[in-house]
Structure 1
Amino acid sequence: MKKFIFVLLVVLLSFSITYAGNFGVGVVIGEPTGLSFRLWQGKAQAFDFGLAWSLNANVLHLFADMVTHNYGIFKPSSGSMPFYYGVGVRILAADNTNFGIRIPLGVVYIPKGMNLDFFFELVPTLELVPQTSIDVDGAFGFRYYF
């Protein structure tokens, strides 16, 4: 598992060099709590990744989402604040490995002229393996863009 995490971090850091200005690294606080990564693919699309720890269930969360941003719902006086939604996958690594489909729903505030964003999200998840169940995660956080 340590080798996997090391390789994941090396790959993500290489993204920050390749996609200068489009790759964000930050912190997510809530359920789960850990690291948050976002790779923008234009103005409306992004890939979100996370490596986090569940304080309630004592398991490692690995997740990846493709999200779309709608800039027309919220209109702040400065910066932008799109609503985002998407689909992704989650792996819970513990004694048993769980796999599920995520549906992230959130709002991200992007201050004008800064390399930061701040976000809040709720993520319903349909667990498929080892059994079918529904879970909901919620968190807030921030990312710095390189």
Structure 2
Amino acid sequence: MALADGRVEVVRLSDEPLEMPRIAYDRHNGSAYRYVYSVGARDRRGDDFVTRLVRLDVVTGTTRIWSEPGRYPGEPVCVPLPDRARNEGSESNEDAGVVLSLGLDSTNQSSFLLVLDAATFGELARAEVPHPVPFDFHGLFLRDA
């Protein structure tokens, strides 16, 4: 947070280790936001690979986690509901949509696209791929115009 005198205040938002954080950029880029979606690791020292997806509420500090043994998720991407549907979503509508993540299933040596509800972080769908898809550090979603 930038203060009037030019100083910066650092505030720890969570004890959960987070990497590649994403927000609902379409409505909150450059403005206040409440939710951050990120990859994280079980080992808080950082000695293991990303093993989970994390939803952080920066106001309350609470987290919701998706994790499965032998599954390694990639960077989450927020996909908002279309404008017409947002008005009926959650109270803030910031988390009205889904979170997508391309993951690796190490047990079956395959990949999957995971679809989580952005508000509850519950799994809505999964599309299995019969082979591994190489990891990429950044995800992207383009809405069909």
Which structure has the greater CA radius of gyration? 2
**TM-score over 0.5 for the alignment?**
no
Q: Which has the higher helix share?
A: 1
TM-score normalised by the chain length of structure 1: 0.39
